Amino acid sequence: MAIISSLRHFLFLALLLGYGVFELEASHRIYEDLQSLEPTGITSTTRQQPYRTGYHFQPAKNWMNDPDAPMIYKGIYHFFYQYNPKRTVWGNIVWGHSASTDLVNWIPHKIPIYPSQPSDINGAWSGSATILPNGKPYILYTGINPRDDQVQNLVVPKNASDPYLRDWVKSPKNPLMAPTAQNQINSSSFRDPTTAWLGHDGRWRVIIGSKIHREGLAILYRSKDFVHWTKSQRPLHSAKGTGMWECPDFFPVYINSQIGVDTLVLDKNVKYVLKLSLDDTKHDYYTIGTYNQTKDVYTPDKGSVDGDSGLRYDYGKFYASKTFFDSAKNRRILWGWINESSSVEDDVKKGWSGVQAIPRSLWLDKSGKQLVQWPIKEIEKLRVNPINLSNKELKGGSVLEVPHVTAEQADIEISFEVSKFGKAEVLDPRWTNPQLLCSQKGASVRGSLGPFGLLVLASKGMQERTAVFFRIFKGHNKYIDRSIVESFGGGGKSCITARVYPTLAINGAAHLYAFNNGTESVKIARLSAWSMKKAQIS
């Protein structure tokens, strides 16, 4: 992975390691021919297989995709997700549910939402939670009716005094929003309602992803009571040539502050973020702009580009993301689905498919032009056995092993000190896509200042390795967890998540190296690494 870095004396990289590859399969494809291969339960072999993560959220078995309706309620964090309780491929979709006090350790609860009404009889798809001013959470979600139309439904807690929200009741008025000939909505492209927000007029607003031909749409609805909804004459935002917009997310961020903002807050000292998941490419992109609360129109700032060439949360495997406002710690937290890169047949054999990225705090960069992400502070409670190095020179073509760290499950922070910037490669102005640049100039392509960085999940002879690196043209944090590598560069401005499936570098045979494949020397100013304990998840 290569990151185009600004001209800085120190470069900082952070990683979360856990075993991790780079394609994203379609989220709504069903593999009927593989149903007979499905295991009936999770076996000891499944439990012991080396790619299962130690502290990334995943259920005990079967398929998981989109994060849904994350929230904090009465001091308890809740995470819902799209789940197939029967198979390791997409289908039979219901909602899974787990609760936590720290966003690290999770206790599973029974399935809260499953097909039971005509409005969702063919599937209970993604949605979002809104905490009303009275403190009660409401969830809007997409259901599939008997005609396979996508419609929007409401579910509320059966017992609002239960902090674990174990029981939910569907509205008898479902569906609350549906495609009709009059509203000109594509019935197969109308899904994933956002967290709602209140306008100055006291009416609720919510957007739903859609499209007309190749024009992506954020369809806007308004309501006085959260039950009866009326479609606006125009969308909150649209963009031609972008295709279907899945899992939209719309929220404010403070200017010049890392403090999060609730969607219920109407403040002039904010920018707005519109995140969209592109069904065509399976990438999440976002724009930053302004929201006219009178006209209910969102306008991206100049230079904030709609579509796949725009800003992305993550330049690796990260899709269908969802944020929520953590009122306990005044921060906005981002969840994202990490799909597999293994074959479907391999997923069937191992008995599970899909994990969630480490929850990330998210805020607006001081420039006001992009977002910054960083793993939540709570994840650091899993750190053990710290290793520290400093002032280590890495000559061109050299490799240095980092000893005494459990390299299959680790947290690493490394700062590089670089000089001789005049010898850096000339930046081609056409190189605007970091993911494409990585494929063209990988870790084996030598330059002057770079590639240099870390080789993670590496075998002893380095027949297997995953490179996370810098290449400087005319700093950073990373996490590893068995089959996942999450990298945070430039203080969280550039993020890349990868899946890796080693066959040699597993368990105790995994090694960690710092390397420099450039012609010029660089210095490791500081390296801190921790082995990571396993979280309680399922």
Distance CA 482, CA 297 (A): 44
Does residue 456 sit in the same domain as residue 336?
no
Q: What was the pLDDT predicted at 46?
A: 39
Q: Is residue 89 part of a domain?
A: yes
CATH value at residue 501 = 2.60.120.560
Closest CA to 290 of 325, 253, 238, 257: 253
Cβ neighbours of residue 477 closer than 8 Å, sequence gap 6 or more: 12, 13, 14, 15, 374, 375, 413, 487, 488, 489, 492
Q: What was the pLDDT predicted at 470?
A: 85
pLDDT at 448 over 80: yes
Distance CA 393, CA 400 (A): 10
Q: What was the pLDDT predicted at 83?
A: 97
Distance CA 247, CA 195 (A): 11
Highest mean pLDDT pick, 8-17, 102-111, 338-347: 102-111
Q: One-letter amino acid identity for 100?
A: S
| Average pLDDT for 73-97 | 96
Does residue 305 sit in the same domain as residue 161?
yes
Does residue 331 sit in the same domain as residue 388?
no
Q: Is residue 170 part of a domain?
A: yes
Q: How many structural domains does the chain have?
A: 2
Pick the last residue of a domain from 357, 391, 421. 357
Distance CA 340, CA 22 (A): 9
What average pLDDT does the structure give for the chain?
Answer: 88
Q: Is residue 33 part of a domain?
A: no
Q: Is residue 48 part of a domain?
A: no
Does residue 81 sit in the same domain as residue 148?
yes
**How do strand 466-471 and strand 2-4 relate by DSSP bridges?**
parallel
Buried b (16+ CB within 10 A) or exposed e, 403-421: eebbbbbbbbbbbbebeee
Q: One-letter amino acid identity for 230?
A: T
pLDDT at 341 over 60: yes
**Structure tokens given for 534:** 């396993």
Does residue 132 sit in the same domain as residue 174?
yes
Provide the domain limits for residue 196. 57-357
pLDDT at 517 over 50: yes
Q: Is residue 189 part of a domain?
A: yes
301 among known catalytic residues: no
Q: What was the pLDDT predicted at 482?
A: 74
Q: Is residue 150 part of a domain?
A: yes
Q: What was the pLDDT predicted at 432?
A: 64
| Average pLDDT for 55-80 | 97
78 versus 502: the higher-pLDDT residue is: 78
| Average pLDDT for 191-208 | 97
Closest CA to 289 of 281, 279, 277, 300: 300
Q: Supply the DSSP string of 51-103, one letter for each residue.
A: TS-SSS---SSEEEEEEEEEEEETTEEEEEEEEESS-SSS-S-EEEEEEESSS
Question: Could you tell me the pLDDT band of residue 38, with boundaries at 50, 70 and 90?
Answer: very low
Q: What is the pLDDT of residues 171-181, one digit of tens each?
A: 999 999 999 88
Q: What was the pLDDT predicted at 10?
A: 53
Q: Is residue 497 part of a domain?
A: yes
Q: What is the pLDDT of residues 236-256, one digit of tens each?
A: 999 999 999 999 999 999 999
| Average pLDDT for 65-84 | 98
Does residue 263 sit in the same domain as residue 116?
yes
| Cβ-contact 325, 263 below 8 angstroms | yes
Question: Could you tell me the pLDDT band of residue 17, with boundaries at 50, 70 and 90?
Answer: low
Percent of the chain with pLDDT over 70: 89
| Average pLDDT for 385-389 | 94
Does residue 470 sit in the same domain as residue 336?
no
Does residue 353 sit in the same domain as residue 408?
no
Q: What is the pLDDT of residues 105-164, one digit of tens each?
A: 999 999 999 999 999 999 999 999 999 999 999 999 999 999 999 999 999 999 999 999
| Average pLDDT for 395-400 | 94
Query: In the beta sheet, which residues pair with residue 361?
Result: 333, 374
Question: Could you tell me the pLDDT band of residue 41, with boundaries at 50, 70 and 90?
Answer: very low
Does residue 436 sit in the same domain as residue 520?
yes
Q: What was the pLDDT predicted at 433?
A: 67
Q: What was the pLDDT predicted at 421?
A: 76
Closest CA to 353 of 53, 63, 36: 63
Q: What's the distance, Cα to Cα, between the start and end of the chain in Å?
A: 31
Q: What is the pLDDT of residues 211-227, one digit of tens each?
A: 999 999 999 999 999 99
Distance CA 247, CA 237 (A): 14
Does residue 136 sit in the same domain as residue 258?
yes
Q: Is residue 537 part of a domain?
A: no
Percent of the chain with pLDDT over 90: 68
pLDDT at 444 over 50: yes
Does residue 343 sit in the same domain as residue 388?
no
pLDDT at 478 over 70: no
306 versus 469: the higher-pLDDT residue is: 306
Please return the burial class of 16, using the count of CB atoms within 10 Å of its CB with bins 0-12, 13-18 and 19+.
Answer: buried
pLDDT at 55 over 80: yes
Buried b (16+ CB within 10 A) or exposed e, 451-479: bbbbbbbbbeeeebbbbbbbbbbebbbbb
CATH value at residue 301 = 2.115.10.20
pLDDT at 18 over 60: no
| Average pLDDT for 269-276 | 97
Catalytic residue among 66, 68, 296, 306: 66
Q: What was the pLDDT predicted at 477?
A: 52
| Average pLDDT for 53-75 | 96
Q: What was the pLDDT predicted at 2?
A: 29
Does residue 343 sit in the same domain as residue 294?
yes
